[in-house]
Structure formats: structure tokens, C-alpha cells
Structure 1
Amino acid sequence: MSAGNAAVDAAATASPATTHRLVKEVETAVVISGSLRGYARASRGLSGGFNDFDRRICPLCLTLASSEKRTSPQPQIFRSSGLFRGYASWTTALARASSRFRNIPRRAEFETHGPRSQRPKSVDPASLCRLGENAMNVSGEATRSFWMLDTSFPSAPRLEQDEHCDVAVIGAGIAGVSIAYELALAGRKVVLVDRGPLLGGMTSRTTAHLAPICDDGLSALVKMRGEALARGFQESQQAAVDCIEQHVGRLEIDCDFRRLDGFLFPAAWMDEREAARECNKEYAAAAKIGVEVEHGKGVPLKGHESAPILRYPNQATFHPLKYLRALLADFQKRGGKVFADSAVVEIEEGKQVRLKCDGGSTIIASNAVFATNSPINTWVKIHSKMAPYRTYAMAFDIERGILPDALYWDMDDPYYYVRLNPGPGGTDRIIAGGRDHKSGEADDGEARFTALEAWIRALVPDLGRERARWSGQVLDTIDYCGFIGRSPGNGNVFIATGDSGQGMTHGALAGLLIRDLIVEGSNPWEAVYAPDRTPPAAFAQYVNENLTTVKNLAGYLLPGEIKSADDLKPGEGGILQDGLSKFAVCRDRDGRLHRHSASCTHLGCIVHWNSTEQCWDCPCHGSQFSPDGAVLNGPAIRPLA
């Protein structure tokens, strides 16, 4: 075994104290590496004193840039760079170089190292002048999900006056709406605000499986978190589904909610022996934490009629937008206030939290909850423990009765998933999803849709015509569980993020958990989802995901993707090198040319063009920008320069 591999293995089994120290060092490295203008200047030798930095870090970045493999790159990198006698060697080299930078945004360093009294609490809204004209969310991207085509977004006014409340909730997707609603039921005065149309964020791009089963598998969850916390995860996810069912019944919501079975079936490439081994492994893990599951034989999908499978009873599904529209209506009847198209651009923490919106109005709240898919109130601590992934989905007609109503997931990695939704007359809709990839690391959406359609038509030959195709983004955490609770270092600021492919259940759960933390001060599941956790077993995954930022760094050393903006056709985009600067240049589908800095305004990573959604994706932490540079998804809150 190489020294590099041994170091990674040692890190993965380190004590909690050692893991915490290493995580802090990686956070520091991420902050420093976010200052890419300074890095580019240093790496090109435009200022002196970077010999150690160039010798250690540049080979590492170039190794990353040339690597085509996404899985477990760290041993190769550490062998190539000779650095991994400990992460301290890497971060020390970065810090040594950073001490000479002159134009580095230092804001995020205070979050990791500075005393609270020294940490900046706000972002200057003067730099956001364009944001007020373009406030929107991912509803502004090119594709439209089946839910978006089937149901309109609820209307709400723009915030144009100051508001005082007990709790301000930022983000009106399933997490934000659930949190606001549960707090309103508990008698709190709540204001809910979104940067774009209500329900127009990633919630509108789901496939809406209400499955308490861990998205990454129960065996992986038990191995990562241990039996006690894994049991807490399962119990809490089940409670989230139960909560949705209770609200549907109490409010008589017509949203196609129903209980059904979930089936885990073999991937196309698996033989029967390997599929049986996987079933046995997941069955054993389920038994350890009290999950109801049964061995079975076959599912009604072509080629899998006699395959080893697992059946999980008592799963559920629904129409997410119809459900949330009803919750919003009842929330407003109970005195809750809702505002759309109002981006929060300035955050001031203290005994009370002050949130300034792009229109100039301020929300003053005793507590604030950031449910913005990726939190906009924290710069590094949470984002370094999550990774953004694009996932794809398609909806087709299917004659009712051809495929039994259930949830279906295969054993591939990344896996495919299938569900039904009731349609008119004798027709249902079948929704299939999969073909995931790291955000910003591929621009081949049409090819992925083609592969997805080929996969589902092979399993269901009687499939009808296509009704919709869309993509969304999920945030995978390093230990498979979301980050829901108090924002690290804050007593009255809370976050809900890291859906890990289970956004519907995590969102509903956030309503229960954060309600209890604000109203009662505690919740039995808070340790499962504590945002400040750093499980020792997840350290290798933590290192692996954060190497995306270092790999992205190398882009500042490489040529641009296009030679001239004149080469771009409508709908195309790319990175243009102009002297020492890189620009994100695209021509929208109407033929208008847009040119902005290629540096994401969160921590400076290079954005990448997404031709499917006609937006710029940041591969480091999941920010998304429209062709004109406006923010569509956080953690960035400033438009591209």
C-alpha cells in the first residue's frame, strides 16, 4: 500500500478530534483556493515568493485537470504531489502563498478562524444593483418539469415594506414551506420569502418519491453513521412521510397522495448472484435498524420478471406542487405572510436577525431559517461538506394497468428510479430519472435524456409518447444525511440543506425538526442532522468531494474553451480567455450575446455552461446563473460580474 493510500485510510479512521482538526484545515484551503484571481496571479509568476506554492500545488492541480476519472482520485493526487504526510502540508503551502495575495476576498476566513465579533454579517447591496431587476430562481431555466407544466406557481407580492416577525424563512420550496407552516401551527408569527416565484426552486424539479429508505442504501448508512443514528434517520424520514399524510387528510388536499410499495431491483449489468448478494446486504442492514422489508422474486419490468428483489412496503408518493399550494393557502389563512421575487442580499446577525431584500425593505426577526437549497448565510462550513449533482427526469404516457403503481429503484450507481402519476381517462404518466453527474462536469444533457429514454423503453416496451423532460440539482452530503438545525456558531439562525436525493422527505422533516428547535429547544433527531457534525468515517469522502474545488482551480492555468464569441451559435456558451482573465460568454436562444466574469461570486470557482438548462453551473458548491449573470440558485447571492 502506498503512503498516500495509507494516509487516506488513517484519516478515515481518525479520532473525532483529529477529524475536526483536519476538516478545519480543508475549510481553510477551500477559502483560500476560492481567491482564484490571486492564485492565477501567483501561479503565473506575476509576484515573487511563490516557489514552494508553485512546486507543491501546481503539479497537484494539473494532475487533477488531466484526470478523467471522478471516483476516488485522492490516492493518485497525493502520490503525484508527495504532499499527503497530512493535510497540513497542503494547507500550509496554500496559506504561505495566500499571505502574499493582495486582492483576496477575506470574508469567509472569518467564518472559520475569526472571533464572532470580527466576522462580517452582511454583503454590500450596492454590488447587487442588477439583482433587483433579475431576481428569479431555477424556474427561469430552460426545461419544464411535469409538475410545472401541470400546475401553476402560486402568486405572491414582492416585499416592498419592512416586516417584523418571530421567524423569517428564506426559500419557498418544500423545506421552507414546511418549516413556515409548522411554526404557524405552533402559533409563531412567520414571514416566508423567496428570490423568485413561490415553489419555483429545486422542489419543482423533483420526481417526488416519498421513500424513507436512505438514498445511498441502508448498508452504507449503517456503516457510515452506526446503528443508532441510522435508526434515527429512518424513524425521522418515516415521520416526515406520516406528517405529509396527516396534512393531506386534515386539509383534504387533492394531490394524488397514496401509500404503495417500493422495489429495489438489479441493475442491467448484474447477474443473479451479484443481485442476490446486494439484496442480502441491504436486507441485513434493514433488520438492524427496524426497517420493514421482504425478499422477493421479480418485478413487472422486462428482463427482471424473476430477478432477486427487495420489497419495501408503506412507501408513498404525491404531486408536490398541489400539496404545497394547499399548505401555503392554509399558512396565509393562519396569518403567515408570503413574498415572492424578493432576494435577500444582506444578512445581519445578532439578538435579532435583519434581512435586507433587493428592493430595499428589511425583515427583522427573532429567528431566521435559510431553506434555500444551498444556504446563503454561510460561506464554507456547510458547503465543504456537500457536493452538487445534476439529475435528469422524463415523463411519458402509459396505459393504466400496464405497470403496477409502485416506486422502483435499481442497484446501479448512480441508480435509475421510476414512479407513476395518475393521468386523465385510462392513461397514467410514468416518470423515470437518473443519469446523474457532478454539476458542471458534463454538458451532454441531450445524450443523457436519450440514454434515459432508451433505458425505460427497454423495461417498459409499451411506453407512450414523451410529455416532459427536465433536470434538477441535488446536494449530496458526505454522510448521506441532510444538514438541518442550527447554523454553526449561531443560536437563532437555522439551515435546511443537503437533501442527498431525498428532498421531499428531508424538506417535510425540516418542518418538524426546526419547529421543535425554535419552540421547544430540542428534537430527538437533531444529532442525526446536526449541521456542525464531522463524522470520522466520512473524512475520505470529505476529501474526495473537496478536490473538485482544487481541480477547478487548475482551469485558471489552462486555455479557454472558445477562441471567439463570434463562434457561438444561439444556445451555446463557453469560457473565453482574454489576457489573464476568463469570461463566461454565451449567446442565448434569442441570439443576444452575454459576457461576464467566469468566477462564481460565492468563492471564485470557474462556472461552466449548461446548454440543456441555458445557465451557468458552478461545480464547486452548486450556484447557478442565468445567461445575463443573474443568480438562479445559491449559495451565491451576487450576480456574475
Structure 2
Amino acid sequence: MENQDKLNDGSISSGENVSFWIDSAPITEFEKPNGDVHTEVLIIGGGIAGLTTAYNLLKKGKKVVLAEDGFIGSGETGRTTAHLTSALDDRYYFLEDTFGEEGTKLAAESHTAAIAAIEKNVNDLNIDCSFKRVNGYLFLHPSDNEKNLQKEFEATQNAGLNTGLLKSTPSIYNGDQTSCLAFYNQAQFHILRYLDGLAAAVVSLGGRIYTQSRAEEITKDGALVNNYKYTADHIVVATNSPINDLVTMHTKQAAYRTYVIAGKIPKGKLPYALWWDTGDADSKWVSQPYHYVRVENFDENYDLLISGGEDHKTGQADQENIAEAERYEKLEEWTRTFFPMLEDIAYRWSGQVMEPVDSLGFMGKNPGDDNIYIITGDSGNGMTHATIGAAIITDAIMGIKNKWEDLYSPSRITLKTTLDFAKEAVNMASQYLDWISSSDLKNTADVRAGEGGIITKGLKKIAVYRDYDDSLKAFSAVCPHLGCIVHWNNDEKSFDCPCHGSRFASDGTVTNGPAQTNLKPVDVK
């Protein structure tokens, strides 16, 4: 029951469903805060971004304290599919048009270097995390055009990547009739076992890690962590979505939910590899959702096929009239079409992806601040983006100019993304109409055990959840970030904000920023 309670409050995982990574690795926890702290660098967030930054800085001789509001990897890092790749969510020909040839070369170089940096950490620290070098294969979505594959091949060659245009796609059904772009020498690993090794290295180098430690009121001086004063010369906010910024960064990116299934396949049926389709060009979403697949070791007789996709903007599944649970069904149907050897589904979970309007992450100094740094905008490439961000911020704190710093600057402006920016801005603004729209529930009697929803009482919007013991919990449905009305996510048992992606567990506890505080409890009859 203790672990179930932790699941409900979001401290083990930011949702009801448990990923394979969380299920197959021990929970890594450290002591809770017990007094005020001063250090050189305060890092907020215990995922891959925060731990890699901590490890890098400790090797440079800095004193580091890391605070994680759950356990190690309990945020979005533990809900990834752990592809390590220089094949990015958006096409390189788009990057070339946006950032120019030199900028695109830097993007390719940085992601390639990030994979190498992870591999070096695995070897240096002797981390048992199933790290493997593998090939990746990008094939066309039915809505895409064959000429775009050739166009992408040319752009990747211009960027200096090791790619090849193939007439068939290895190992997928009817692959001999499906051309693809091969990305050679990519990688994969078990993310939580990697984090466990990094956390041990941080502690061995003298770093201090605190778990179940919520940071609030972040300023240039530090933060309140479980109501203790944590002061520092430099503050790194590595929380997927920044919790220190009310507006600026949230106009540059949008939160999407992505879905994952995992099922057993007989050992040796598929090679260890990565597969992606090019994305739905007809999607209503700016991000053009795509599918992504890999294989992971499971036991002596079976591997695990891990497949993801069916994305939508957070809190807006109803915009396509496809419920969250139905998205797993659509994902399974797609997966079995290309990988018919898939047996019963053993795991399903969803994660949150921050999609920047110009495709590249935001890593470096927070706009307007001299000593506060952020790592966000992972765009589905969180493992490499986070590792790049850790390198950039480490150099910045050490007073070194990083060659990727300007490309990933959170203050950058890319004029060629104006149309996408406008679409996301209009979508965001339209969510405030929920204040005047009807609710999904008439009264509390409509709320069944294990479910929730939104009720209107006069001018108030109330979020309600009925626990499995039939007790009713009620909160203001107003997101404490910027006042949007949250939506009930019946799959992950959470209240999700459709404006900026804040998420709250069924007990009202905030599990995803940018909101810093919980939903406010209210009394209902």
C-alpha cells in the first residue's frame, strides 16, 4: 500500500501507469531536507538533466546540492522510451531552413556528442544499464511524400551525419517494399539504471541529493525546499517544464502527451534497433505526431518491444474525440501492423513532451536572469537534449563559452517559426473558454470510484475525484499557474492543464510544472 500511496501522490511516477523502467529498477531515494543549506550550485530536478549537470559540475570541483520533489527519475525521465539518437523529431531540412547549414551542423554534432558522452559515463562509472549501439530507421508515414525522404537524406549528409538511403526497411512487415533513411551508430539504454549509476557517482564526488524535496519560490538567491532556505550562487532548474518562469518560456513551447505500450516478443525475433515513421502531415497538431519503436532485453526467452506515439496536446484529448485509453488501442493496432510478432501487452504508460516552436531545446540562462539556468523543450529527444543542456550549463557556470550555447539559448528568436507560434498561441488562448463552457459532470453523484471530473457550481469550477474507498476529494479546478481550467485524465488519474501542461495527482498534488503549488482544496457536499 505504501508504494500505491506514493503512486497516487506522484512521488514515484507522474501518473497512475507504471513504465517498464520504473517496474524493473529499484526506487532510488535519499534523505529529506532537515535544515537550511548553502552551496555553490543548487539543482532542482532529479532526472537525467539534473543528475548529468550535477555530475559534470562535481568533476569540475563545484559544490552541488540537488533537490528532487519525488524520487530519482520519477518525473518525465522515468516515462521515456530511452532512444539515444541524432535523428530528431523534426526533419533536418526544416532545421536547415530555420537555423541555416551551420546551425544544423551544430545540432547534429551536439546530439551525436551527447550519445558519446552518455556512453563515456556508462564506461567510466561501470553502469549496468544495457547500453547498446544500434542503428535507427526512419520510414514514411502514409501522409508523407517519398521525395521528403530524399530531401532528409541530403540534409543529414549536409549536417555531417552517418546516414544512408535504403530501398527497404529492416525487420518491419513488408519492409522490402518500404524505403527508409538509416541513421547508423545510434544507441539505447535502461534509463533508470543509468540514473542510479549517475546518482551514486554524484554522492561519491561529494554532492548532496535530497528526495521528496519540493522547491518553491525560486529566485536568484535560491529556493524554499520543503520550507527550508536553500541558497546558492547558481540555480539550475531541470524540471522538464520550468517552474521559475510564469510566462516567457511557455510562449515558446507547448506540452504534449505521448503514449507507450510494451509487450513481449520471442528472443531474437527482432534485432536491437530503433524505428520511426516520419509523422502525420495531416495532423491538427503543430507537432505532427509520429510513431517510435525499439527493443529492450527482458529475460532469457523474451525481449520487450516498446512502441510509442498517438500524441495530443496535454489536456486536449477530447479535441480529436479520442479518449486516452483509446490511444493505446490505436497504438497497438499500428504496432501489430508493422511488428506482428508482438504478444500480449505487458505495460502501457504515457509521458509529457515539451515541443518548442522551432524544434530545438532551450538550455542555458533563463531569459532576464544572470545566475538561473534552465533545461527544457526536449521535443521527444529528452535523453540527448538533457545531456547537451548539462554540458552547456556546466561550461556557463565555469565561465567557458560553449560552441552550442547560442543555438540552444532560451532567449533566441527564430522568425521562420512565426506561423507555428501563432497556431500554438491561438490554441492556448482558446482554452480559457473552459471558464464559460459546460462541465463534464452534473454533480458529485456522477463520480464513480477511481474517476474524476469537473463540476460547475455557480461561478466556480471544481475538480472532484472519488477514491476507491468511496471518499470524495474536491479542489478548485483553476490551475495555479495562469488560471486555466484543468481537465480530468482518466488514464493516468490526473488533472491536466490544457494551457501550459501543469499536471496534478488525484489528491491535488502538483506533479508537473510550470505550476509550483497544489490545487486548492474546497468543501463540497
Contact 2:241 2:377 in 1 (8 A): yes
* Structure 2 residue 385 is matched with structure 1 residue 517: no
Contact 1:205 1:471 in 2 (8 A): yes
State the Cα distance separating 1:136 from its structure 2 match. Answer: 4.5
The AA in structure 2 aligned to 1:574 is G
* Structure 2 residue 163 is matched with structure 1 residue 293: yes
Contact 1:176 1:371 in 2 (8 A): yes
- Aligned partner of 1:401 in structure 2 is 268
* Structure 2 residue 341 is matched with structure 1 residue 462: yes
- Aligned partner of 1:420 in structure 2 is 295
Contact 2:361 2:385 in 1 (8 A): yes
Contact 2:439 2:455 in 1 (8 A): yes
2:224 to 356, 360, 372: 356
Question: What CA deviation, in whole Å up to 9, does each residue of 1:464-510 have, x standing for no partner?
Answer: 22221100000000100111000111111100011011111111112
The AA in structure 2 aligned to 1:393 is V
State the Cα distance separating 1:591 from its structure 2 match. Answer: 2.7
* Structure 2 residue 510 is matched with structure 1 residue 631: yes
Matches within 5 A, 1:62-77: none
State the Cα distance separating 1:381 from its structure 2 match. Answer: 0.6
The AA in structure 1 aligned to 2:312 is H
1:605 to 447, 468, 484: 484
- Aligned partner of 2:410 in structure 1 is 531
State the Cα distance separating 1:511 from its structure 2 match. Answer: 1.5
State the Cα distance separating 1:304 from its structure 2 match. Answer: 2.5
Contact 2:243 2:516 in 1 (8 A): yes
The AA in structure 1 aligned to 2:222 is R
**Structure 2 CA distance, aligned partners of 1:388 and 1:164?**
33
**Structure 1 CA distance, aligned partners of 2:94 and 2:470?**
48
The AA in structure 2 aligned to 1:292 is N
- Aligned partner of 2:501 in structure 1 is 622
1:278 to 148, 163, 166: 148
* CA distance 1:348–1:296, change in 2 (3 Å): closer
Contact 2:14 2:512 in 1 (8 A): no
The AA in structure 1 aligned to 2:69 is R
Contact 1:195 1:340 in 2 (8 A): yes
Contact 1:164 1:364 in 2 (8 A): yes
Matches within 5 A, 1:474-493: 474-493=353-372
* Structure 2 residue 18 is matched with structure 1 residue 148: no
- Aligned partner of 2:207 in structure 1 is 336
**Structure 2 CA distance, aligned partners of 1:482 and 1:305?**
35
* CA distance 1:592–1:224, change in 2 (3 Å): farther
Q: Of Structure 1 and Structure 2, which has the larger fraction of its residues in strand?
A: 2
Contact 2:452 2:466 in 1 (8 A): yes
State the Cα distance separating 1:140 from its structure 2 match. Answer: 4.8
1:203 to 54, 67, 77: 77
- Aligned partner of 1:220 in structure 2 is 94
Contact 1:214 1:221 in 2 (8 A): no
**Structure 1 CA distance, aligned partners of 2:147 and 2:14?**
44
The AA in structure 1 aligned to 2:517 is R
1:368 to 235, 240, 251: 235
* Structure 2 residue 311 is matched with structure 1 residue 436: yes
Contact 2:361 2:377 in 1 (8 A): yes
**Structure 1 CA distance, aligned partners of 2:400 and 2:251?**
27
Question: What CA deviation, in whole Å up to 9, does each residue of 1:141-179 have, x standing for no partner?
Answer: 210001011012212111111111110000000000111
State the Cα distance separating 1:198 from its structure 2 match. Answer: 1.7
- Aligned partner of 1:116 in structure 2 is none
Secondary structure in 2 matching 1:435? strand
Percent sequence identity over matched residues? 40
State the Cα distance separating 1:572 from its structure 2 match. Answer: 2.2
* CA distance 1:612–1:135, change in 2 (3 Å): closer
**Structure 1 CA distance, aligned partners of 2:411 and 2:146?**
38
**Structure 2 CA distance, aligned partners of 1:135 and 1:448?**
24
- Relative to structure 2, which stretch is displaced further, 457-466 or 595-604? 457-466
- Aligned partner of 1:248 in structure 2 is 122
Contact 2:9 2:505 in 1 (8 A): no
State the Cα distance separating 1:215 from its structure 2 match. Answer: 1.1
- Aligned partner of 1:449 in structure 2 is 328
> So what's the TM-score if we normalise by structure 2?
0.93
Contact 1:137 1:631 in 2 (8 A): no
State the Cα distance separating 1:589 from its structure 2 match. Answer: 3.8
* CA distance 1:308–1:409, change in 2 (3 Å): same
State the Cα distance separating 1:138 from its structure 2 match. Answer: 6.7
State the Cα distance separating 1:208 from its structure 2 match. Answer: 0.3
- Aligned partner of 2:193 in structure 1 is 322
Contact 1:135 1:343 in 2 (8 A): no
The AA in structure 1 aligned to 2:153 is Y
Question: What CA deviation, in whole Å up to 9, does each residue of 1:86-131 have, x standing for no partner?
Answer: xxxxxxxxxxxxxxxxxxxxxxxxxxxxxxxxxxxxxxxxxxxxxx
**Structure 2 CA distance, aligned partners of 1:589 and 1:231?**
53
Question: What CA deviation, in whole Å up to 9, does each residue of 1:360-386 have, x standing for no partner?
Answer: 211111100000111111111101111
Q: Give aligned pairs, total.
A: 500
State the Cα distance separating 1:573 from its structure 2 match. Answer: 2.0
* Structure 2 residue 105 is matched with structure 1 residue 231: yes
The AA in structure 2 aligned to 1:451 is K
State the Cα distance separating 1:354 from its structure 2 match. Answer: 2.5
- Relative to structure 2, which stretch is displaced further, 370-379 or 452-461? 452-461
Q: Where do 5+ consecutive residues of structure 1 fail to align?
A: 1-133
Secondary structure in 1 matching 2:516? coil
After superposition, the CA RMSD in angstroms is: 1.5
**Structure 1 CA distance, aligned partners of 2:26 and 2:113?**
29
- Aligned partner of 2:373 in structure 1 is 494
2:138 to 243, 251, 264: 264
Secondary structure in 1 matching 2:72? coil
Contact 1:440 1:608 in 2 (8 A): yes
Secondary structure in 2 matching 1:421? strand
* Structure 2 residue 441 is matched with structure 1 residue 562: yes
Contact 1:484 1:530 in 2 (8 A): yes
